[in-house]
């Protein structure tokens, strides 16, 4: 608003204020220096936009520059203003019209206009270039150019998730040593029963949420190791080995994937870390900062040469949430989000992403009742961040605040290569959907009169 007011009124007001007087050099210098600082500050702002992954965008998250020449320099804008003022003074001399000092002052708004055009052109040009290059593929600008009619359902047509329904548990490695007996963990249980894992991989789980004595279930501790599982060779098309986990995976608890290589008859060598290059790690920590009954999907990353894997779990914490549960590793296949989400299924889409998902039907909110979503596509930086946003918090009056209390939640793994902040959740409930009858009634309650200003009626 300040720039716009200056552009429209500065020179006419100065001319009116001075009348026949001459423009002081101090006013001219003050206008040039002050606006040079404002323009430099404006160009210093990085090309960063909230809730947008700018991978592939020209100088994403950086201040604009051309050929590595930045525009956030006060001397640059002072020089441009001096050049514009000189040209306008020269034109005024040739035409022999007006004050030369006012002509010099006019150079300031001219440069401001050029700066505004430059920032607009740079921004539009950068996004147009990224759209033409189709980067990032799931971005609004790339999809708007590649599929302007939305026939491919926007980002949902290019974002892929590892479908838990396709999970196939890895086969145990025959002939390898068996693990020692576990303590504190039980098979096919040991997790919050109101939040059930989903998919075939959920058929083989262990957890430490068990009451072994009077201390209570969350005071339990222990450790266990699974058998060795045979890693598949040559996974293609984005398929990956995944593990489901719930509870607390830090703060004294730990879940670790240990990779090995078969040797001889019935032997296995744990892959050791190369102390020189650190290219190969024998262990992969499956961890996050969440302490939640919801299930999360972790992608295993076997080092080169590994052909077997086992999972080591430790429950070393107590108190509320001091347990963990996990599944056996399984091969999971990718599927586009537009295929994974059934047509007409109620999908809760985060407000940060909603404009990019035209094919997803938002849950209805009618008569004070929120239709329970079956899936959610949300935005978050860490595990389960999406369901911690205000829309999902009862204390904030969130529309989906009761979903974590009434449905099982499982965060899926999004295939890398797209915005890492996209989070997809599968929601399941044992309750029948819409198995109720809505009735409406009216009742009159005591209140204040708007006519007389009296208090409540007796």
- Give domain limits for the chain: 2-133, 168-329, 333-458
* pLDDT value, residue 280: 43
* pLDDT value, residue 272: 57
Beta strands 168-169 and 330-332 are: antiparallel
Beta strand ranges found along 150-221 (DSSP E): 160-162, 168-169, 186-187, 205-207
* pLDDT value, residue 19: 73
Query: Residue 96 and residue 98: Cα distance in Å, rounded?
Result: 7
Query: Residue 336 and residue 359: Cα distance in Å, rounded?
Result: 13
pLDDT tens digits, the chain, 458 residues: what are they? Answer: 777 777 777 777 877 877 767 778 888 888 889 889 989 999 999 999 999 999 999 999 999 999 889 999 999 999 999 999 999 999 989 988 777 888 888 888 899 899 999 999 999 999 999 999 999 999 999 999 999 999 999 999 999 999 999 999 999 998 888 999 999 999 999 999 999 999 999 999 999 998 766 667 777 889 999 999 999 988 888 899 999 999 999 999 999 999 998 887 767 776 655 544 444 448 999 999 999 999 999 999 999 889 999 999 999 998 888 999 999 999 999 999 999 999 999 999 999 999 999 999 999 998 888 999 999 999 999 999 999 999 999 999 899 999 999 999 999 999 999 999 999 999 999 888 888 898 888 888 877 666 666 555 55
Query: Residue 18 and residue 115: Cα distance in Å, rounded?
Result: 28
Q: Are 61 and 46 in contact, with CB atoms under 8 Å apart? A: yes
Topology (CATH) of 168-329: Jelly Rolls (2.60.120)
122-125: long-range pairs with CB below 8 Å, 24+? 122/47, 122/64, 123/47
* Tokens describing residue 88: 């306008």
Query: Residue 427 and residue 409: Cα distance in Å, rounded?
Result: 5
Angle at 256 between CA 252 and CA 257, to 5 degrees: 175
* pLDDT value, residue 215: 66
* pLDDT value, residue 130: 96
Query: Residue 117 and residue 123: Cα distance in Å, rounded?
Result: 10
Query: Residue 334 and residue 159: Cα distance in Å, rounded?
Result: 10
- First-to-last C-alpha distance (Å) of the chain: 55
In this prediction the pTM is: 0.86
Total residues belonging to the chain: 458
Under CATH, which architecture does the 333-458 domain have? Answer: 3-Layer(aba) Sandwich (3.40)
Residue with tokens 């999908």: 347
* pLDDT value, residue 23: 79
* pLDDT value, residue 367: 86
């Amino acid at each position: 608003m300040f720039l716009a007011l200056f552009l429209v009124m500065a020179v006419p007001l100065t001319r009116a204020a001075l009348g026949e007087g001459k423009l002081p050099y101090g006013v001219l210098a003050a206008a040039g220096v002050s606006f040079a600082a404002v323009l430099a500050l404006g160009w210093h702002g990085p090309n960063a936009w909230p809730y947008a992954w700018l991978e592939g965008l020209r100088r994403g998250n950086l201040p604009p520059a051309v050929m590595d020449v930045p525009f956030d320099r006060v001397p640059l804008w002072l020089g441009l203003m001096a050049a514009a003022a000189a040209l306008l003074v020269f034109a005024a001399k040739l035409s022999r019209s007006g004050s030369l000092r006012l002509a010099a002052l006019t150079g300031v708004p001219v440069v401001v206009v050029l700066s505004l055009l430059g920032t607009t052109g740079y921004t539009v040009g950068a996004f147009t270039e990224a759209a033409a290059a189709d980067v990032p593929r799931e971005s609004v600008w790339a999809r708007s150019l590649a599929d302007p009619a939305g026939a491919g359902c926007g980002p949902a047509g290019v974002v892929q998730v590892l479908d838990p329904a396709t999970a196939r548990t890895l086969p145990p490695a025959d002939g390898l040593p068996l693990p020692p007996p576990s303590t504190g963990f039980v098979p096919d249980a040991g997790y919050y029963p109101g939040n059930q894992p989903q998919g075939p991989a959920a058929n083989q789980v262990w957890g430490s949420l068990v009451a072994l004595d009077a201390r209570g279930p969350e005071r339990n501790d222990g450790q266990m190791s699974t058998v060795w599982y045979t890693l598949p060779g040559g996974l293609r098309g984005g398929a990956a080995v995944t593990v489901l986990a719930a509870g607390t995976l830090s703060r004294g608890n730990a879940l670790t994937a240990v990779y090995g290589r078969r040797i001889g008859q019935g032997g296995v060598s744990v892959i050791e870390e190369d102390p020189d290059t650190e290219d190969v790690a024998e262990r992969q920590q499956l961890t996050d900062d969440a302490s939640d009954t919801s299930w999360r999907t972790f992608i295993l990353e076997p080092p080169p040469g590994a052909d077997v894997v086992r999972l080591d779990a430790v429950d070393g914490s107590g108190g509320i949430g001091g347990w963990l549960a996990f599944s056996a590793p399984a091969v999971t296949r990718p599927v586009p989000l537009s295929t994974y989400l059934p047509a007409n299924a109620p999908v809760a889409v985060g407000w940060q992403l909603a404009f990019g998902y035209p094919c997803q039907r938002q849950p209805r909110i009618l008569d004070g009742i929120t239709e329970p979503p079956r899936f959610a596509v949300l935005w978050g930086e860490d595990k389960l961040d999406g369901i911690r946003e205000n829309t999902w918090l009862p204390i904030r009056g969130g529309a989906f605040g009761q979903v974590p209390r009434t449905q099982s939640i499982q965060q899926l793994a999004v295939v890398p290569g797209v915005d890492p902040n996209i989070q997809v959740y599968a929601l399941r409930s044992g309750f029948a959907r819409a198995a109720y009858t809505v009735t409406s009634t009216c009742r009159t309650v005591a209140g204040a009169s708007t006519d007389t200003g009296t208090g409540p009626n007796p």
